Structure 1
């Protein structure tokens, strides 16, 4: 039998995910959650006939000089840079935790060097805490999610330069 706070947590996770349907069974209980979304029907409108008048020739005003200002250069990553980085992705829907406890330092931060077996974070799903390993040797370039944020399955969590 599930406790009320466990049911609320499951409902919250499903609500914040892109799942439309969730079902879970134990020996004693069965939980089934289905998202109800209103059906939206688009009805094309019929164009209303409009009376047209003949165009009256008008002399165009003299063109005004235009000033083109150059925006400040923006840091842009080329596709080569992004493609050369390894993405550590979440294997499941859950809550991202950067550290093993609230008062503990994060497992990794930008600039840290990781090995394939280095634990980089925890993803909590239904009170199960799953340690996520780097699966690549390299330098952490960027942490893409915030501590306590809900993450989707396959969502990138870290960028690592191999």
Structure 2
């Protein structure tokens, strides 16, 4: 399945409080992200950047994309290896560092999947499947910081 895949969405700023961006504290960081055929995602900046902590922010979305991409790639790798996964939960975390000039970057992300497989004979192959999943994950292959894995695999 080689090919080029295109994605599109609309991001709309909804935070005009009546004076636009007349000052740094004069506007809300509210954003609506829309993809055709999907529910809208209400987003904002993170709280330290004057955003609404109850809404998704770009940093949350990047971490979520890495976690979900690894999960989906991992399930594929397990099917290919004959491993039956019956449960998967990831407690992912990331560290972003500000550069003092108004920008910054993620330093690393750590994925901590806890995987349950159907039989103890599958544990070794299930552990090895994380390396394959990392190689297949489009999102992890698109970032310039390490995405580490601290996986735990147990048998049902």
What interval of TM-score do these two structures reach, taking the shorter chain for normalisation? under 0.3
Structure number with bigger Rg: 1
In terms of fraction of residues, the more helix-rich structure is 2
TM-score by length of 2: 0.20
Q: TM-score, normalised by structure 1?
A: 0.20
Higher relative contact order (CA closer than 8 Å, sequence separation 6+): 1
